[in-house]
Chains A and B, each alone.
Chain A
Amino acid sequence: AQSVSQHNHHVILSEAASLELGCNYSYGGTVNLFWYVQYPGQHLQLLLKYFSGDPLVKGIKGFEAEFIKSKFSFNLRKPSVQWSDTAEYFCAVNTNAGKSTFGDGTTLTVKP
């Protein structure tokens, strides 16, 4: 069975600080990897995804993630966070049938 581990449950940063959220997965087959974000009071929405090709993927609002196959990792990064990035972030891995396993989530608080 696949599993997803997010290393940090709660991260607090000041504006302009750099962000890296860790995500490791356990799955033996071909993976499709996702980061979703849930802003306060809003739906979960896609931030970025990887399914093939360039392991460095770019998403909305300046976020990027790097797939490192040898480390089973898909870490999320942003060079300079803003107060509006305050949200909960979820890493997920899909099977070929489209079923997802989510990590426990990381709550990011950005202080102005």
Chain B
Amino acid sequence: DVKVTQSSRYLVKRTGEKVFLECVQDMDHENMFWYRQDPGLGLRLIYFSYDVKMKEKGDIPEGYSVSREKKERFSLILESASTNQTSMYLCASSFRTGAYEQYFGPGTRLTVT
């Protein structure tokens, strides 16, 4: 079974803090993704990586950055957390081509106070 793990299930941070969310997958997938999930807005793509050190902006990249130094690990960084970044963050991975589904982690519920 594919496993996508995320470093924390719940996280509470203060405004202005730097926040790191980590994601690890064990299926040698080329693609990795970070989404945020908000009620009524579905899943919105923050960043996408299709290979080590390669990244592409998604629909809402502002205020976020990412790092992919190893194939299995994809990190999301909030440089200076703000209250409007309070959300559920989902990591996913997949094989490269579009015919393949994404596998999701359990999510990190981040609260910024």
Contact = CB atoms under 8 A, between A and B. Distances in A.
B108 interface: no
B90 interface: yes
B50 interface: yes
Contacts of A98: 30-31, 50, 94-98, 100
Contacts of B106: 43
Interface string A83-109: 000000010001111111111110000
A91 B92 CA distance: 16
A49 B101 contact: yes
A92 to B, nearest CB: 8
Interface of B: 30-31, 33, 35, 40-45, 48, 50, 56, 90, 92, 94-102, 104-107
